[in-house]
Amino acid sequence: MEILSKIHARNLVEWAKDRPEVLVLSADLTSSTEADLFQKAYPERFFSFGLAEQNMMSAAGGLAREGFLPFIHTFAVFIYRRAYDQLVDSVAYPNLPVRMVGFLPGITTPGGITHQAIEDVALMRAVPNMTILEVGDATEIESVLDVTLDISGPIYLRMLRGEVPRLFAKNEPLKFNQARVLSQGTDITLFSSGICTEEAMRAMAILKQRGVSIQHMHISTLKPFSDPAVLEASAQARMGVITMENHTIVGGLGSAVAEIMADNGIGKKLKRIGLKDTFAHGASRAYLMREYELDALALVQAVEEMVGHELDITETDLQTVRLEAVHSIAKAEAL
Amino acid sequence: MTFSSPTATESTWQEIVYRIANNIRLRVLEHTLKNNGGYMSQACSAAELFAALYTKIMKIGPSEAPMVPPPFLGVPASDNPHYQTGRGYNGPIAANLDRFIFSPAHYALVLYTVLIEVGRMSPEGLAQFNQDGSSVEMIGAEHSPGCELTNGSLAQAISQAVGIALARRIKGDSGRVFVMMSDGEFQEGQTWEALESMVHYKLDNMIVYVDVNGQCCDGKMCDVLNIEPLKPRMEAFGARVFVVDAHDADALAAPAEVEPDGRPVIVLCYSDPTRGLPLLNTRAPKLHYLRFVSEDERETYRNEYEKMLVELKGS
C-alpha cells in the first residue's frame, strides 16, 4: 500500500495557484496543519492570527463577505469548542463560504482531551447551513478541495495530516454526498468514515472468508446526509446495519444513519462503533483504537454479535492493509 | 411625527448634530412611552455620536434601501434568494466610501431612530419595531435596517470588521471601516483579540467609536466588572486612542480627521447615560432598559416628554 505524506500541504499550494481569492488563516499551528507550504508560496494570502481563534473565526466571516474564500487551518477542537459562538453568528448564520479545515479528528492525536475532537461532528451537524466533509485517505485529501467549489455556504472539513495511506484509486475522487461502495454484500451493511474505513478494510477479507456478506460503504459527506444509496443499503441489509466512526457514538455518523433509518421506517438493528459516550486520553492512535474499540477487531466483535455466533477471528488474522514506513522521518502524531 | 426641522438660522454642522441628537432622545422616549419599554439610556448617551457619525464623520452615500423596511425575508440560506442585509441604509459599497459597522445590537432602537432623523428611513419603520414578521427587530441582526453584521453576541462585530478591513486593504480601497461599539464589549476577551490583530496588521483604515457610558445590564460597569482605565490599556496594545466628550460634536469629529499613521484609531466617547433626561437618574444604577413600574412613573416620564418637546420646538 502506498503511504504518502504532507498531501494537503502540497495539494493546497497547487490548487490555490490560480485562485487569488483563496486565503489561509492560521492560529499559530501553521506547519502542524500543513499550511506552511502555502505560507511560503503565497505570503500575501496567508494571515497569522495567533492563539486567538474567536477573532480569527469572525474575521474569516468578514473576509468572506468581501468575496474571499478563507480557509481556516487549526486543530479541529479549537474551531468548534473555542469559537462555536463565532462560527454560528459570524459564519454559519450568514451562510458565508468559510472553509474550516480541522486537523486531529478523534483519537488521531496523543494530545488527550484538550486536543481530541470527539464530538465535533455532533455539534457541527446541529448548525444550520453547515456542510461537513471528512476525508479517509490520500485520494480524498487530493480531491476534497475541488468538492468545496460548488458549496456556497460554510464547510467544516475533518482533515488528515502527516502520513496517510491511499485506499482509493487516484482517479476516483471524493464525490459530494455520495457514499463510496467498497464491497457488496447482503447480510450486513457497514458505513464507515475517516480513519475507521482503513480499519474496517483490514477485516473485510477474513469476514468474507467466514461467510459473512457485507455491504461496506465509505462516507465522506456527513452533512447533508441524503444519499439515496445509503438508505437503500440500510434497507436491504438482512441482519442489520453497523456504523464505525472516529467520534463519539452520540450525534455523529451512527446518529445520522439512525435518523434516516427511523425517518424511513427501516426497522433493522443498528450497531454503532465509536467512542461510547466517553472522553479519551493521551496515547498513541493504535493503542486508543484498541482501548476504545474503534479498530478492526471491534468490528469483528460487532459482526459476531449481529450474526449471533463467534467467527473465530483473532488479531493475527486481520490483514494488515496499512504498512507503516519503518524509518519514517515524519512524526505523524507530533503536536 | 417630525420633532424639529432644519431652520433658516441653523447654519453649522454642529447645530445639525445637536438638533438630530435631541430628536433621537425625544423619539426614543416617545417610543418607550408608547411601548412601555425601551433602550432609553443608550439614546441619552449615544445620541450625539450617532448624529455626528451619520451627518459629519462618515463618508457614505445615500441610502439604497426602501424608506419603509421590507418584512423579514427569511434567514440566509443557499435556497433563499430573497435574503438581504440592512446594509443598504448606509449607502452603496464603493472603494472610496466608508463602511459603517454597528456592533452593540442592543442599541438598535437608537440606530433606527438616527436613520429616521437623517432621512434614511421613514418613521413608519419604527412602528414595526419588535413586531412579529418585521426586520426592525428589538435586538437587531444583519437583516435589520442599518446593520450588516450579526452582532447580538457582543464583540463579534469588531472581529468581523477586521476581516472587512483586511479585505479592503487587499483590494486597495481608500474608504475606511467605522465601528460603533459599547464599552461593555470590552469585558469580552474577543475584543482584545481583535485589537491585537488590528495593531499587528496595522489596520489604520479602522476607526472604532466607543460609547463609554459606564453601564451594562447589571448596573455600573465599575461594580459589575471594572474595565478601566481603558485608554492606557488600549495604548498598551498599540492602538491610537482619543478620549472625547460624547456630547461635544467638535470633539467627536476631530479624531476622524487625523492623518493615518499605521495604528488603528479608537475614540473613547465618555458619555452620560441620562443626558437630556436627568429623570433617569432615579433608576440608577440599573439603566440598561427602561420599563415603567407603574402608571404613575409612566406619567412622570410623559410630562418630561412634553417639556422636552416644547423646549425643542421653541429652540
Report pLDDT digits (tens) over A288-311: 999 999 999 999 999 999 999 999
- Minimal Cβ distance to B150: which of A54, A59, A90: A90
User: What is the reported pLDDT for A323?
Assistant: 42
User: What is the reported pLDDT for B8?
Assistant: 61
- What is the average per-residue pLDDT within A225-250? 98
- What is the average per-residue pLDDT within B15-25? 97
Model confidence over B178-215: pLDDT tens digits?
A: 999 999 999 999 999 999 999 999 999 999 999 999 99
User: What is the reported pLDDT for A90?
Assistant: 98
User: What is the reported pLDDT for B9?
Assistant: 66
Window 158-197 of B: residues touching A by CB (8 A cutoff) are 159-168, 170-171, 189-190, 193-194, 196-197
User: What is the reported pLDDT for A318?
Assistant: 87
Nearest CA in chain B to A82: B190
User: What is the reported pLDDT for A328?
Assistant: 33
Q: Please tell me whether residue A230 adopts helix, strand or coil conformation.
A: helix
Active-site position among A14, A44, A53, A293 = A53
pLDDT interval class at A321 (50, 70, 90): low
Span of A231-245, A320-334, B101-115 with lowest mean pLDDT? A320-334
- Minimal Cβ distance to A153: which of B78, B156, B189: B78
Please, where in chain A does CATH 3.40.50.920 lie? 180-317
Evaluate if residue A326 carries a pLDDT over 90. Answer: no
B91 to chain A, closest Cα gap in Å: 16
Nearest CA in chain A to B200: A49
User: What is the reported pLDDT for B96?
Assistant: 98
Cβ pair B159:A68 closer than 8 A: no
Using the Cβ of B82 and the Cβ atoms of chain A, whether some distance falls under 8 Å is answered with: no
User: What is the reported pLDDT for A315?
Assistant: 87
Evaluate if residue A158 carries a pLDDT over 80. Answer: yes
- Minimal Cβ distance to B163: which of A50, A54, A59: A59
Distance CA B90, CA B103 (A): 14
Q: What CATH code is assigned to B13-314? A: 3.40.50.970
- What is the average per-residue pLDDT within A164-186? 95
pLDDT interval class at B313 (50, 70, 90): confident
Residue written as grid cell 488521531: A108
pLDDT interval class at A230 (50, 70, 90): very high
Share of chain A above pLDDT 90, in %: 93
Which residues of B fall within a CB distance of 8 Å from A47?
Answer: 166, 201
- Minimal Cβ distance to B163: which of A50, A63, A89: A63
B152 to chain A, closest Cα gap in Å: 9
Evaluate if residue A148 carries a pLDDT over 90. Answer: yes
Structure-block grid coordinates of residue A291:
482501548
Judge if the upstream peptide bond of residue A94 is cis by omega within 30 degrees of 0. Answer: no
Please, where in chain A does CATH 3.40.50.970 lie? 3-165
pLDDT interval class at A334 (50, 70, 90): very low
- What is the average per-residue pLDDT within A251-266? 98
User: What is the reported pLDDT for B110?
Assistant: 97
Question: Which sequence spans correspond to the domains of chain B?
Answer: 13-314
Q: Give B73-78 contacts, CB < 8 A, sequence gap 24+.
A: B73/B135, B73/B143, B75/A93, B75/A128, B76/A93, B76/A94, B76/A95, B76/A129, B77/A95, B77/A128, B77/A129, B77/A153, B78/A95, B78/A129, B78/A152, B78/A153
Average pLDDT of chain A is 94
Share of chain A above pLDDT 70, in %: 95
- b/e sequence A292-320, b meaning 16+ C-beta within 10 Å: bebbbbbbbbbbbebbeeebebeeebbee
- What is the average per-residue pLDDT within B89-114? 97
Cβ pair B76:A62 closer than 8 A: no
Model confidence over B224-236: pLDDT tens digits?
A: 999 999 999 999 9
The reply to whether A53 belongs to the active site is: yes
Structure-block grid coordinates of residue A42:
503565497
Average pLDDT of chain B is 95
Q: What CATH code is assigned to A180-317? A: 3.40.50.920
Model confidence over A53-87: pLDDT tens digits?
A: 999 999 999 999 999 999 999 999 999 999 999 99
Model confidence over B290-302: pLDDT tens digits?
A: 999 999 999 999 9
CB A117 within 8 A of CB A104: yes
A81 to chain B, closest Cα gap in Å: 15
Contacts (Cβ under 8 Å, ≥6 apart) of B179: B101, B103, B157, B158, B161, B206, B207, B208, B209
Model confidence over A179-207: pLDDT tens digits?
A: 999 999 999 999 999 999 999 999 999 99
pLDDT interval class at A325 (50, 70, 90): very low
CATH class of A3-165: alpha beta
- Minimal Cβ distance to B162: which of A59, A95, A152: A59
A272 to chain B, closest Cα gap in Å: 32
Model confidence over A206-222: pLDDT tens digits?
A: 999 999 999 999 999 99
Which residues of B fall within a CB distance of 8 Å from A56?
Answer: 159
B274 to chain A, closest Cα gap in Å: 32
Cβ pair A50:B189 closer than 8 A: no
pLDDT interval class at B312 (50, 70, 90): confident
Q: What ipTM is given for this predicted complex? A: 0.94
pLDDT interval class at A327 (50, 70, 90): very low
Distance CA A49, CA B176 (A): 21
Q: How far is CA B241 from CA B49, B228, B263, in A?
A: 16, 14, 9
Cβ pair B163:A128 closer than 8 A: no
pTM of the model: 0.95
Cβ pair B153:A89 closer than 8 A: yes
